[in-house]
Amino acid sequence: MKLLFKYTIVGLLCFVYSCSSSQDQYVKQYDDPGFDRIAFYNVENLFDIYNDSLKRDDEFTPDGDRNWNNNRFYKKLNNIYKVIIGIGEWNPPVIVGLCEVENRFVLNKLVYQTPLKTFDYKIIHEESPDRRGIDVALIYRSSGFTPIEHKTIGIRFPFDTASRTRDILYVKGVLSGKDTVHIFVNHWPSRYGGYLVTKPKREFVATVLRKQLDSLFVSDINSNIIIMGDFNDEPWDESLQDVLDARLDTTGLQTNDLYNLMGIFQKDWDGGTSKYLDDWNTIDQFIVSANLVKGRQELQVSPKGAQIYNPEFLLEDDFKHLGKKPYRTYVGFKYNQGYSDHLPIYIDLTTSEKGD
């Protein structure tokens, strides 16, 4: 079941640089592939090099513990844009949800000062109160997605008022002129400090998100909902399966039900989106409303479901725990030159037969 796309860095570089003068022509001649690809990527600490006195970002500065400098920053940007282009198989996704980005500055650099500028990406981003300064964001190709509104959904823990975490980003828009979609980009509290200690925080975020979804279903029971993110829990954990009520199978799926597209990657599957010691896990997920599973309106999730993008250039040998692991930017405080400690995921939305 594990999917492996054989893209290489050399191939990506050839695509980007081989004929830069004709890039605009490439975009104009692009043929609609018949689906809209949507991706999510935890890019692992995309920080600028400047110290922000209001954030705990000191280690990601030239004088910090990680010796974070312009060369490393721009290497990171180049790595990320190559991944986004690769996910699209030379036609980058219409929408990409991101997490672990520091601010609008790094997003501007990514979207407007790398070859991604060829594809006319725009940015939706708001600052979160996370103490490290990392946010969620959404970038989109303006030719394929038209935003109508967006807002942030703040998280305040009643049992830990001093704690801060990332807001949920909500975006409503029209996808490829076909239908309205409601997108929620998430980065739930980590397990740092222990699973049981941090579990109530993720369950609380799930209750906040569930209330937002219930409100959407009350106003329109046929809402097309796409929830994406790094949830720091797996599909079968209580926060997702019980509190958010995201189902792992489609049997008897009702209109206002949610379906976790990552549930197919079961516990005994040798792979995932990130790796802890010798265990792969699937904490990066897509969850959708039943409409998008059943194709009751215009849009429908492709039958192949959610995919983990895991080409060889995003992996490296795991000499300690065997097998492979994500090729990340740092291993501890040692600069590793890689991409992220997470693998990206994506889905394709097609036009359903009922929508034709």
In DSSP terms, 324 is beta-bridged to 317
CB 324 within 8 A of CB 271: no
pLDDT in tens, 63-104: 999 999 999 999 999 999 999 999 998 799 999 999 999 999
Mind listing the pLDDT tens digit of every residue in the chain (356 residues)? Answer: 434 333 333 344 333 433 333 344 444 233 467 899 999 999 999 999 999 999 999 999 999 999 999 999 999 999 999 999 999 987 999 999 999 999 999 999 999 999 999 999 999 999 999 999 999 999 999 999 999 999 999 999 999 999 999 999 999 999 988 899 999 999 999 999 999 999 999 999 999 999 999 999 999 999 999 999 999 999 999 999 999 999 999 988 998 999 999 998 876 667 899 999 999 999 999 999 999 998 777 899 999 999 999 999 999 999 999 999 999 999 999 999 999 999 999 999 998 766 55
Q: State the DSSP H helix or E strand holding residue 73, giving kind and residue range, or none if neither.
A: helix 70-87
Q: Which residues does 55 contact at the CB level (< 8 Å), separation at least 6?
A: 102, 131, 132, 133
Token pair of 341, please? 């400690």
pTM of full prediction above 0.85: yes
- What is the distance between the alpha carbons of residues 291 and 293, in angstroms, rounded to a whole number? 5
pLDDT in tens, 101-120: 999 999 999 999 999 999 99
